[in-house]
């Protein structure tokens, strides 16, 4: 009697290496869209005044030109190529590994949060040098001409930091950077997955679903992560020799606790769409791979 072949279709999957690559490419594509918001957020976090994001944006365009809104783009792309590649790749790998070990059962909210923390901390450490370069390049235009660092691009920034300050300065502010990433990813990756499951019952699958889940995720992530983010920004932009403790105490003493949420609007306006675009691009890359390969 002839042996009957199993007609059950095999589950298709994206190889681990491509999960990392697609994560980085998705983040880089999203950064090209939201880079001006990142620059405005950084300028507001470094400013001692109470100016709105619209005023800051207007001043940048008036003094430095429209192209200045994309200052530091090369550093932003390198940050995504290192940080986002690592964090999304590690998260997806850990997520799939959990499902394999538990008979295809997806992890619950608590496990998702733990996976996000692990992925975020690893990605942040890898991406800290690009983060330092990004903060300095986006902040440069607010300084007097004689005090500007005038980095030509991210490669020039990294080489000059090593040459002028030492290789360890590439990881300046690594502790708050990793702490921020742990908070961001614990909130972002877990709440995105959870919000998507909730909205899926009411919203059809597609860009609308991704948008709703991402904006909810972005709001929660913004509230939770901004204090760590502004401390990280101040430390990474600090002058040579200025200790991290001095930077933090000076911030709280001179500007108050509420300054920890300075730049909330551009931060959220950047994080929400960036999350939307990143996941949309990521899912499109995955879908294209499964369709054609």
Can you give the three-state secondary structure of the chain, one letter per residue?
CCCCCCCCCCCCCCCHHHHHHHHHHHHHHHHHHHHHHHHHHHHHHHCCCCCCHHHHHHHHHHHHCHHHHHCCHHHHHHHHHHHHHHHHHHHHHHHHHHHHHCCCCCCCHHHHHHHHHHHHHHHHHHHHHHHHHHHHHHHHHHCCHHHCCCCCCHHHHHHHHHHHHCHHHHHCCHHHHHHHHHHHHHHHHHHHHHHHHHHCCCCCCCHHHHHHHHHHHHHHHHHHHHHHHHHHHHHHHCCCCCCHHHHHHHHHHHHCHHHHHCCHHHHHHHHHHHHHHHHHHHHHHHHHHHHHC
Query: Does any domain span residue 1?
Result: no
Query: Does any domain span residue 9?
Result: no
Q: What is the pLDDT of residue 50?
A: 66
Query: Does any domain span residue 3?
Result: no
Q: What is the pLDDT of residue 4?
A: 41
Query: Does any domain span residue 98?
Result: yes
The CATH number linked to 239 is 1.50.40.10
Segments of the chain scoring below 50 in pLDDT: 1-10
Query: Does any domain span residue 11?
Result: no
Query: Does any domain span residue 67?
Result: yes
The angle, 0 to 180 degrees and rounded to 10, between the axes of the packed helices 53-64 and 264-292 is 80
Q: Compute the mean pLDDT over every residue in the chain, rounded to the nearest whole number.
A: 83
Q: Which domain holds residue 278?
A: 16-292
Q: Tokens in use for 109?
A: 């909210």
Q: What is the pLDDT of residue 146?
A: 84
Query: Does any domain span residue 151?
Result: yes
Domains of the chain: total: 1
Q: What is the pLDDT of residue 128?
A: 92
Query: Does any domain span residue 189?
Result: yes
């Amino acid at each position: 009697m002839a042996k009957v072949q199993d007609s059950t279709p095999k589950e298709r999957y994206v190889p681990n290496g491509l999960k990392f690559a697609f994560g980085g490419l998705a983040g880089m594509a999203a950064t090209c869209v939201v880079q001006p918001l990142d620059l405005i957020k950084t300028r507001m976090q470094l400013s001692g005044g109470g100016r709105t994001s619209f005023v800051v944006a207007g001043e940048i365009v008036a003094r430095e030109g429209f192209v200045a809104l994309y200052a530091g783009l090369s550093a932003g792309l390198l940050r995504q190529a290192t940080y986002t590649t690592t964090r999304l790749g590690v998260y997806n790998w850990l997520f799939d590994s959990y499902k394999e070990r538990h008979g295809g059962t997806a992890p619950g909210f608590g496990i998702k949060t733990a996976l996000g923390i692990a992925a975020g901390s690893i990605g942040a450490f890898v991406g800290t040098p690009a983060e330092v370069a990004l903060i300095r390049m986006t902040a440069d235009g607010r300084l007097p001409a004689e005090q500007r660092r005038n980095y030509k691009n991210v490669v020039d920034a990294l080489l000059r930091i090593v040459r002028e300050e030492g290789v360890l300065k590439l990881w300046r502010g690594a502790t708050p950077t990793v702490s921020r990433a742990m908070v961001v990813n614990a909130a972002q990756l877990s709440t995105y997955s959870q919000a998507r499951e909730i909205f899926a019952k009411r919203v059809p699958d597609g860009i609308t679903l991704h948008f709703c889940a991402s904006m909810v995720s972005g709001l929660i992530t913004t509230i939770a992560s901004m204090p760590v983010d502004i401390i990280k920004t101040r430390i990474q932009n600090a002058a040579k020799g200025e200790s991290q403790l001095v930077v933090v105490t000076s911030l709280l003493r001179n500007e108050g606790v509420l300054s920890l949420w300075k730049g909330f609007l551009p931060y959220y306006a950047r994080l929400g769409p960036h999350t939307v675009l990143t996941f949309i691009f990521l899912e499109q890359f995955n879908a294209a791979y499964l369709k054609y390969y």
